[in-house]
Amino acid sequence: MLIIRPYRPSDYLGAKKTLEEGSLYDPIWDSRKNLSKMISIDPKSIIVATDGKNIVGVQYVVAMGWEALFFRLAVGKKYRKRGIGRALIKKAEAIVKKRGVKEVSFFVTSKNRKLYKLYKSWGYSPSDTHTYKNMYKRLSPGR
């Protein structure tokens, strides 16, 4: 039986494995410490899918009041093509809808046509007005 629920610190190794299988794991962004920080600020900022025993899917949810950003959608290799990704998205949509969010965005690499088509089949549309290039800066610890 599939259960979608908020992430707990004890889920870390299963979530990490799932992200790794999806080639999404980043040792800094997805560190145990950073995931704990995320859920201390918003307990529903990470949701997981479990088969009752194992973490089989992960989704990050960042709600900003007017819009939400979904990222790090990952499903374990053995569990793909079973609707788990869609179930995570539906749960994430329900979470942000309750908060009054009117629009949700994903970042999808232009190279991943398969994922692009999948999101489109779920009702997501490409943005004709935004052509973002991801830029980031790692900040060194303050003294």
Per-residue model confidence as pLDDT tens digits over 9-56: 999 999 999 999 999 999 999 999 999 999 999 999 999 999 999 999
What does pTM read for this prediction? 0.86
What pLDDT is attached to residue 130? 62
d(CA 100, CA 96): 7
Q: Where are the alpha helices (DSSP H) in the chain?
A: 12-21, 32-41, 84-98, 113-121
143 pLDDT above the threshold of 60: no
The rounded distance, in Å, linking the Cα atoms of 3 and 31 is: 24
Q: Are the C-beta atoms of 88 and 73 separated by less than 8 Å?
A: yes
Assign 127 to helix, strand or coil: coil
> How confident is residue 141, by pLDDT bands cut at 50, 70 and 90?
low
Which range among 40-44, 62-66, 68-72, 84-88 shows the weakest confidence by mean pLDDT?
62-66
Stretch 58-71: mean pLDDT, rounded?
90
pLDDT band at 60 (very low <50, low <70, confident <90, very high): very high
The DSSP annotation for 69-107 comes to EEEEEEE-GGGTTSSHHHHHHHHHHHHHHHTT--EEEE-
Side-chain-side CA neighbours of residue 114 (13 Å):
1
